[in-house]
A and B are shown apart, each in its own frame.
Chain A
């Protein structure tokens, strides 16, 4: 890291933290942080199984990457949930999830859900290490633990808006 020559700061500079902003800007340049913004196509999966019989009226996503951090925004509105069964997952994450043994390095946050098959109190989820997938968890009644959601919780018109934040090891 570079060092900066000593100088006397004026009170005006100090109280407005102008110099600190300057240091910050220089750090940004030194670290050369990579910023990546692009589209991605989220999809519903049943665990590892990628169904071919689900159709959507909304299926789009956009993601931001800053260094190892990824924010993947998306919306999925189904028009037919197909006949598949299994764990409810969101797949095709734009960058592979970092493999951290013994820890989950991300979070699934739902800002909106509608047309579920049951009354849902909360939805969340976990990203899976070294995959491009997140499994969905939630509550359908007052409980002491969120449970894993499956195909039975969605209908032909279920609608999700979400953000998946996680760490990636992708170059």
Chain B
């Protein structure tokens, strides 16, 4: 959606934590995506990939559902690889439907189910968190009583499967 504005250089619009600068030589219009409907079933395409990229992946299941409220999004996903391809760096949940709020917080996500991970690493507990201002989650695992460490591409294989849920804010907290 395009809006004509009375503006000057440097003006921007802040919508749900995302900044939309004024465009054009005359600084007279901005473009803002259509508002996301609230309370409706929406789809997203989850990706389990790498911090530094991925290639050659295929999925036998790749479904994501999400719902937006005025301040938060709630995201579910169900993924199973048929080909894991090449994953570079830390294992990330990617392509979340909206960026999280621009605050210096991490927002916790939960795996309800995971299976067919790859040895030699074994895990007692997998979690992920969404950094502030991001639309991805960093996947960490615990091995017994040790501190969690990030998973990487070597920890998944052609049949790894995940079911997950995360709820995170999309607007900054109001000033105190």
- Residues of A that sit less than 8 Å from B by CB: 6, 8-11, 14-17, 20, 23-24, 27-28, 31, 33-35, 66-69, 100, 102-109, 121-122, 124-126, 137, 139, 141-146, 165, 167
Q: Which residues of B contact A143 (CB under 8 A)?
A: 122-124
Q: Which residues of B contact A144 (CB under 8 A)?
A: 115-119, 121-123
Q: Indicate if the CB atoms of B39 and A109 lie closer than 8 Å.
A: no
Which residue, A8, A27, A144, A145, has most C-beta atoms of chain B within 10 A? A144
Q: Indicate if the CB atoms of B116 and A67 lie closer than 8 Å.
A: no
Among A15, A24, A100, which residue has its beta carbon within 8 angstroms of that of B12?
A: A15
Cα–Cα, bound, A167→B40 (Å): 11
Q: Which residues of B contact A102 (CB under 8 A)?
A: 61
Count, A-B residue pairs, CB within 8 A: 143
Interface of B, secondary structure class, is strand
Q: Indicate if the CB atoms of A109 and B112 lie closer than 8 Å.
A: yes
Which residue, A9, A10, A167, has most C-beta atoms of chain B within 10 A? A9
- Residues of B that sit less than 8 Å from A by CB: 3-8, 11-16, 30, 32, 35, 37-41, 61, 63, 65, 67, 69-70, 74, 76, 78, 110-119, 121-126, 142-144, 163-165
Among A9, A11, A103, which residue has its beta carbon within 8 angstroms of that of B78?
A: A103
